[in-house]
A = this chain, B = another copy of it.
Amino acid sequence: MADKTIPYKIYLSEEDMPKAWYNLRADMKNKPAPLLNPGTGKPLTAEELAPIFCEELVAQELDDTTPFIEIPEEIRNFYKMFRPSPLVRAYCLEEKLGTPAKIYYKFEGNNTSGSHKLNSAIAQAYYAKKQGLKGVTTETGAGQWGTALSMACSYFGLDCKVYMVKVSYEQKPFRREVMRTYGASVVPSPSETTEVGKKILAEHPGTTGSLGCAISEAVEVATKNPGYRYVLGSVLNQVLLHQSVIGLETKTALDKYGIKPDIIIGCAGGGSNLGGLIAPFMGEKLRGEADYRIIAVEPASCPSFTRGTFAYDFCDTGMICPLAKMYTLGSSFIPSPNHAGGLRFHGMSSTLSQLYHDGYMEATSVEQTAVFEAAEMFARVEGILPAPESSHAIRAAIDEALKCKETGEEKTIVFGLTGTGYFDLVAYQKFNDGEMTDQIPTDEDIAASIAKLPKVPEM
């Protein structure tokens, strides 16, 4: 417990909370490539997106020039229920590792959804309410996003229909019950409630579903029912915008104590947490005001940055969604049943993909058993039981801190602890029982799905 001038937890006051989201794209010279209409191969317009997404969210999705977008007061009031979130100095972890590094983590798990997802869920629900909609539809796999959206819809009195991948619906009944407690209707997907669901059930009786299928059902319900729109918890520019509250608070807390990080680390599935955490730091880097090492951490079982290709691809397995230019393993890539459900996505945010492509950030992949070793060590010394997704960032932070131990460097490491693992205890049990494995795709697996990427006209 060396450096006691910094408290364990740096809490901000409500007045310190950001009043505007930071739109990273405004500071990018190479803007993220636009979403394309899969039919025409041309950039999607606001008009084309309006039947699917809420109006103001479409505007946010397409706006790559406005640096700050005001957070409406209603959203800031909701944020106050669980924000500002603490920036924690990991004194006990540092001591356990015997490292001269100074480690901080921004903890986003202190809310019932258990993760950072609530930051964007409440924003999306707000704009749906403002537009006078009746409700929203979405899909959920691991359940964090569905839970967050249920909470947000309950707050604004919106109907919320969640299509939950059938295997998760059955294996994670507790997640389902949290959503129901918040008033959401949770439908196991594929279901008889949609045309696409019926079709899939007819073709594949007994299927336990997939995220791609759940997306298709949620989109169908949103577009066929007047007063409904579809919402999504990651990948999109609008989601990264909302998640910038994570980074803005982190920066304010660090500035309060005059701390300048050397390394910033976040786990990356679709990119919502990482994009939010790094936003203001990446902004400084883009504007040439400061330099930071920024590291995306992904599972070795689903390595879109480290082993994927930078190309246009479908965002969903069902190939009904717009095309996005991103690092991708191919939309037909089926990741192994890794326990970090939130990181099992074949692609990556277009914004982060462009930044990675342009050399502004690094990426690394880590193996599942090493991730759970880090998770267990962290839980035992820091108290918090981390989500498997978040534990990818813990693993990378520990590895960087151990390098500092070798070199004697006193680097400052900041990582994002996106959530808690209370609903992931089947995974912990596998680890505790020594039954966890690493499932790494072969080069052939990846090459096969990348070979199936859609052909699009050169931009």
Residues in chain A within 8 A of chain B (CB atoms): 1, 7-9, 11, 13-14, 77, 80-82, 92, 110-112, 114, 151, 154-155, 173-174, 177-178, 180-183, 376, 379-385, 420, 422-423, 425, 428-429, 431-432
8 more contacts with CB within 8 A, not counting A111-B384, A178-B385, are: A81-B92, A81-B383, A112-B385, A177-B425, A177-B429, A181-B379, A181-B428, A181-B431
Residues on the B chain within 8 Å of A11, using CB: 11, 13
Contact yes or no, A81 B181, CB < 8 A: no
Contact yes or no, B380 A77, CB < 8 A: no
Residues on the B chain within 8 Å of A425, using CB: 173-174, 177-178
Q: How many copies of this protein are present in the complex? A: 2
Q: How far is the CB of A329 from chain B (nearest CB, A)?
A: 31
Assembly CA distance A374 to B40 (angstroms) = 53
Contact yes or no, B381 A155, CB < 8 A: yes
Contact yes or no, B111 A383, CB < 8 A: yes
Residue of B nearest to A427 (CB): B177
Assembly CA distance A7 to B81 (angstroms) = 10
Partner of A81, one of B178, B382, B385, B428: B382
Residues on the B chain within 8 Å of A174, using CB: 174, 422, 425
Contact yes or no, A7 B13, CB < 8 A: yes
Residues on the B chain within 8 Å of A81, using CB: 8, 92, 382-383
Q: How far is the CB of A369 from chain B (nearest CB, A)?
A: 14
Assembly CA distance A261 to B7 (angstroms) = 30
Assembly CA distance A106 to B414 (angstroms) = 30
Residue among A382, A425, A428 with the highest chain B CB neighbour number at 10 A: A425
Contact yes or no, B112 A379, CB < 8 A: yes
Q: How far is the CB of A159 from chain B (nearest CB, A)?
A: 14
Residue of B nearest to A422 (CB): B422
Residues on the B chain within 8 Å of A14, using CB: 7-9
Residues on the B chain within 8 Å of A183, using CB: 380
Residue of B nearest to A77 (CB): B1
